[in-house]
Amino acid sequence: MNDIRSKRIRQADIAAAAGVSVSTVSRVLTNEPGISETIRQHILKVASDLGYPLKTAAETTSGGLALIASDSVTGGLSVFYEGILEGLRAGAAERGMRFDIRLVREARTEPELVKEYLQTAGAEGLFLVGIDPSEDLCGWLEASGTPTVLVNGTDPKLRFDGVSPSNFFGAYNATRRLLDAGHRRILHLTGSHRQTIRERIRGFEAAIASVEGAEGRIVPMNFRGSSSHEAHDTTTEILAAGEGYTAAFCMNDFIAVGVLDAVIEAGLRVPEDFAIVGFDDLPCALMTNPRLATMRVDRAALGREAIGLMIARFRDRDAPARQICHGVPPITGGTLPPEL
């Protein structure tokens, strides 16, 4: 013990003395969830006995500000972001983090305004919820060293911590469900306005490419009004053209509802003549007849994970950025055969 005290204590020393992995020690010291209280207290006691400088809760929970894109929230996705906000609030309360929220238009996230928002809230860390930061904002965040977490977002250059659904693999698996049901001409109704959505497009294309003879068509949407109405009208036109498409993977469940309405109006049987898979598992998926097959996004878990990432960033400002992806399990429904 004296030999250890004579040098700078490392997490590896704590792990060896406690009989656990270094990653477990790291998770305890950054107060991440998922560790039993017995193990947590054991590691903290060992760390204290070794003389490791444990920080108090007050030192590790500087205030955080969440900026949420009002463009998305008021555009019909409020229920999606409500779930994320629930997780953010719960995670912050559990960790003793001061937490504030502000709805902003994405165009109003210039560096000077974001700096003002942070100062007004007395916050040190920034959560960008559903916002892909501009290069100007990225430059300021990096230069100022502002702890930043992208929530339901991804930085292609991995400059900032982020948490998101596994968009690529979720889309890949959603499309494979349709392919496994025997469909070979499949639509994908989507946008390209966010990095996360572009990852879903890549997943769709990869799944189509994995099956010989399959053909996928990207159907771009403009989202100028109701996405369900737009999806309905677009699908009606495609079906009327008689091009032989028999299935659709939709960017989200709102779009899938519009597709389902158009298919039923065209007199097609679901899922025998036309199959549909959505994404997000929003409440509207339960209200369709038949019930929508979709992919579940645990929105509250994304929020809680974001709080853990921020606290870890407060503890170690120089650590490499991390992108955490949560799996999106399939939800069965009547728009696909029951086994899929």
**pLDDT at position 61:** 56
The rounded distance, in Å, linking the Cα atoms of 278 and 55 is 45
**pLDDT at position 30:** 67
**pLDDT at position 140 over 60:** yes
Only one residue has tokens 């060293």, namely: 145
203 and 131 in a common domain: no
Confidence of residue 164 (pLDDT cuts 50, 70, 90): very high
151 and 183 in a common domain: no
Helices (H) and strands (E) in the chain, counts: 15, 12
Confidence of residue 69 (pLDDT cuts 50, 70, 90): confident
**pLDDT at position 123 over 70:** yes
Q: Cβ(149)–Cβ(310) under 8 Å?
A: yes
144 and 262 in a common domain: no
320 and 305 in a common domain: yes
**pLDDT at position 93:** 86
Mean pLDDT for the stretch of residues 290-295: 98
**pLDDT at position 6:** 44
217 and 279 in a common domain: yes
Structural domain includes residue 178: yes
The rounded distance, in Å, linking the Cα atoms of 237 and 16 is 65
**pLDDT at position 1:** 44
182 and 105 in a common domain: no
Mean pLDDT for the stretch of residues 212-236: 93
Structural domain includes residue 340: no
The rounded distance, in Å, linking the Cα atoms of 179 and 206 is 12
Confidence of residue 264 (pLDDT cuts 50, 70, 90): very high
Output the 3-class SS for 92-116: HHHHCCCEEEEEECHHHCCHHHHHH
Q: Cβ(67)–Cβ(114) under 8 Å?
A: yes
265 and 184 in a common domain: yes
270 and 183 in a common domain: yes
149 and 65 in a common domain: yes
Query: Where is pLDDT greater, at 4 or 316?
Result: 316
The rounded distance, in Å, linking the Cα atoms of 324 and 161 is 8
Mean pLDDT for the stretch of residues 223-249: 94
Structural domain includes residue 338: no
Q: What percent of the chain has pLDDT over 70?
A: 92
Structural domain includes residue 335: no
Average pLDDT over all residues of the chain: 90
Confidence of residue 40 (pLDDT cuts 50, 70, 90): confident
Structural domain includes residue 99: yes
291 and 196 in a common domain: yes
Q: Which residues fall within 8 angstroms of residue 1, CB to CB, at 6 or more apart? A: 49, 50
* Segments forming the whole domain that contains residue 10: 2-54
**pLDDT at position 41 over 90:** no
Q: Which two tokens stand for residue 66?
A: 């969440």
Confidence of residue 58 (pLDDT cuts 50, 70, 90): very low
Mean pLDDT for the stretch of residues 150-162: 96
Helix (H) or strand (E) holding 165: strand 161-165
Q: Which two tokens stand for residue 333?
A: 């429904």
Mean pLDDT for the stretch of residues 104-120: 91
Structural domain includes residue 246: yes
284 and 181 in a common domain: yes
**pLDDT at position 76:** 55
Mean pLDDT for the stretch of residues 152-176: 97
Strand spans (E) along 13-117:
64-69, 99-104
Structural domain includes residue 27: yes
Which CATH number does the domain housing residue 27 bear?
1.10.260.40
Domain final residue, candidates 54, 69, 91:
54
Domain final residue, candidates 54, 71, 96:
54
**pLDDT at position 170 over 70:** yes
Which CATH number does the domain housing residue 280 bear?
3.40.50.2300
The rounded distance, in Å, linking the Cα atoms of 250 and 333 is 14
Structural domain includes residue 188: yes
Mean pLDDT for the stretch of residues 70-85: 73
249 and 134 in a common domain: no
Number of domains in the chain: 3
Instruction: List beta partners, residue 66.
Output: 101, 127
The rounded distance, in Å, linking the Cα atoms of 294 and 252 is 9
**pLDDT at position 158 over 50:** yes
The rounded distance, in Å, linking the Cα atoms of 128 and 162 is 9
